[in-house]
Chain A
Amino acid sequence: MKTTSIIKREQPHLVGYGTYVLVWGALLILLGITIAVAKMDFSNFSVLINLLIASVKAGLVLMFFMHLKYEGKFLKGLVLLTISALALIIALTFSDVWYR
């Protein structure tokens, strides 16, 4: 009666060593760029540029290291949903902070 059944998993995409090393290289280059940007003087834009670079780095980690690129629309959609939920919370709080 009590048997075990295995739900066959769709074998996820097997990423080769080379891809990972390339992504890692890109991440380190971006790290270098972000430090260089901070050293130069872009006044207020500096933070914005650095956050953009950080988002590109985070995107690389998400897509390749965390395999999101190879996942279905379902999971991609949910990740987007969660990020937008957080963004909306911050935006609504700022509707108070900005205008107070």
Chain B
Amino acid sequence: MEPTPEDYSGKYHIDETGKKIGMWFFLFTELLFFGGMFLLYSVYRYRYPADFHAAAKGENLVIGSINTAILLTSSLSIALSISAVRKGNRKLSALLQLITIISGLVFLVNKYFEWTEKIFRGFYPNSPVMMEQNKGVILFYSLYYVMTGIHGLHVLIGIAVISFMVAFTLRGAIVPENFAKLENTGLYWHFVDIVWIYLFPLFYLIT
């Protein structure tokens, strides 16, 4: 783990392990960021269990399950793409990254349909329909929009970053000796996946 003296001979370091550690640290901050939302969820679910159960019936379990499967698959493909690039198979790697991007986009499109369906029914924060509901129901939907919304934003950012990675891979900037960029992108994507793994039961499976 410790660097040796000859590592310090120049001014600029290329420290792949350092980059990876930096990315993990960033994910720690992300964990605490989402942690604040999970804290609110747990407190309000503790206060209004019946309302939460009732409100969760309004979720579409089929779309939710499909989306979970899609996100898990996208995690697989980005993980495979790193192994592919390390085995020297750049084209396969780029293809796998493309699959991840497409999965992410499909996930977001499904989310879009879910959201618009709810909004058409009048369920969105501060709407007249919403304000007539029980307090627990209001909180459930607020949490739903905020948590899936911020999660969706992370998916969107991930898609943008992976698009750059595809370009880097095809251009040969990501090679078996230097793939920290792609590795860190993968770490980020898996983290976003983990957040969804917890969101899914909390919003879709508590009926």
Contacts and interface: CB of A to CB of B under 8 A. Distances in A.
Interface of A: 1-10, 14-17, 20-21, 23-24, 27-28, 31, 34-35, 37-38, 46-47, 50-51, 53-54, 57-58, 61-62, 64-66, 72, 74-75, 78-79, 82-83, 85-86, 89-90, 93-94, 97-98
A4 B9 CA distance: 8
Contact of A50 (B7, B10, B201): B201
Interface in B191-207: 191, 193-194, 197-198, 200-201, 204-207
B32 A66 contact: no
Nearest to A90: B39
A78 B20 CA distance: 13
Place the interface of chain B in its size category: 35 or more
Interface string B37-65: 01100110011000000000000010001
A5 B197 contact: no
Nearest to B56: A38
A38 B206 CA distance: 7
The A interface, classified by DSSP as helix, strand, loop or mixed, is helix
A61 B75 contact: yes
Contacts of A9: 15-17
A5 B8 CA distance: 7
B12 to A, nearest CB: 5
Given A5-B8, A9-B16, A9-B17, A90 B197 contact: no
A3 B11 contact: yes
A5 B6 contact: yes
A24 B73 contact: yes
Interface string B172-197: 00000000000000110011011001
Contact of A61 (B18, B31, B197): B197
B69 interface: yes
Contacts of B197: 54, 57-58, 61
22 contacts: A4-B10, A4-B11, A4-B14, A5-B9, A7-B13, A7-B15, A9-B17, A14-B86, A17-B83, A24-B73, A27-B72, A31-B69, A46-B206, A47-B201, A47-B205, A62-B190, A65-B190, A78-B24, A79-B24, A83-B31, A86-B32, A90-B39
A61 B32 CA distance: 18
Contact of B200 (A3, A10, A21, A54): A54
B160 interface: no
A58 B198 CA distance: 8
A50 B73 contact: no
A10 B17 contact: yes
B161 interface: no
B142 interface: no
B187 to A, nearest CB: 6
